[in-house]
Structure 1
């Protein structure tokens, strides 16, 4: 206070705007750092805001109260760690499943367009999907996602989770970072999509 009293009393830090789209991505670690900085705290706050209301109004139903963070905060199975996790914070870390594992990839490494590319591009496209599918089977969940610096793609596993080698996956249309809506013209955004995916994964009926 002796040194920075004026700064602390008179300067107010406004809401930090999220880059739309994010800053240019040179590598995967840079994108993960930007995700940590601009997104994951907001997703956690969204769950802290909505679940107490559901509980108070007796509308929780057959849902678990969940949170969101890096993949290491959910149960780690056979040393496989997704980038992110939706999990029940009241359970011990060693026993709480990842209800919707997510992978963060640069758009030059993964996008829906790669499935129509050359053999190498199609292989990379399927490799990432196989990775997320493996996490979903390990955690016995139907939901996952891939987020790039261009868009969010949600994933749902249609067939039996025990069928490891026969994955039938449904992929959402990409939700671009540039998506923006308002009350009159609602639009699914990246943040809203990640929140809704968590709400789907919070159901114990899946």
Structure 2
């Protein structure tokens, strides 16, 4: 019989650190549809914490069972491009997140209608509706659909040498602009799908984003390090799972 563990134990597993080599900083993507000037304000999203996650979904995390799956233990190959990081995301996070979301919704199945939750899954951005030819890197969207429903929580993958949350307060104006440029890209995809939530994930950190309105006013949660671990600390996988749960809330995920 397959060994099982709680969903909380499963999402608290930490991916290995990703070594880099020969990296070269390059400007982030620009487009006539979005630019850094469209970000009006960036505030703090203080509620995105381990304590809040456990307060809202601790019972599910501690009661739901999932078949154990060890994290791949072979040392990761070095990366030097965003494409390399995207490959590592799919190796260490993608399938685990999909399984974790499925386990959570299976546990909640009798209550989904009462809780106004629609099960979501994770895939590439082009698995959702493609609007004007644009799609984000990652999507959280209604399960068992393809290319027909909104991206409830668009995700952007970036290389850490091209973007880091520390650039919000960088001395160099060019870095502060790059910080806002990536937020504007995230905000653009969120606006396309009327989504309230989104995220930026690099090879060193996860940065959850909450959109307040259609005018470029955002809240940004404290960055979760890629290798964050330990009691009372949210992991990247747990945080992404929680973003999935937020995007599953039919009365919450959308800004109309």
TM-score w.r.t. the length of structure 1 is 0.83
Which of the residues 208, 221, 226 maps onto 1:172? 221
1:68–1:84 Cα contact (<8 Å) kept = yes
- Deviation, 1:55, is 0.8
Q: How many residues align?
A: 182
Question: How do 1:1-206 and structure 2 match up within 5 A?
Answer: 19-24=15-20, 25-56=79-110, 61-91=115-145, 93-117=146-170, 118-159=172-213, 163=214, 166-181=215-230, 185-206=231-252
Gaps of 5+ in 1: 1-16
2:212–2:219 Cα contact (<8 Å) kept = yes
* Bigger Rg, which one: 1
TM-score w.r.t. the length of structure 2 is 0.67
After TM superposition, where is structure 1 displaced by more than 4 Å over at least 4 residues in a row? 57-60
Q: Distance in 1 between matches of 2:211 and 2:205?
A: 20
1:68–1:86 Cα contact (<8 Å) kept = yes
Gaps of 5+ in 2: 1-12, 21-78
Q: Distance in 2 between matches of 1:168 and 1:76?
A: 24
Q: Distance in 1 between matches of 2:232 and 2:14?
A: 19
- Alpha-carbon spacing, 1:55–1:73, altered in 2? closer, same or farther (3 Å): same
Q: Distance in 2 between matches of 1:95 and 1:180?
A: 37
- Deviation, 1:177, is 1.6
Q: Distance in 2 between matches of 1:198 and 1:102?
A: 11
- Deviation, 1:61, is 1.4
CA RMSD for the aligned pairs?
1.8
- Deviation, 1:113, is 1.3
Q: Distance in 2 between matches of 1:59 and 1:187?
A: 31
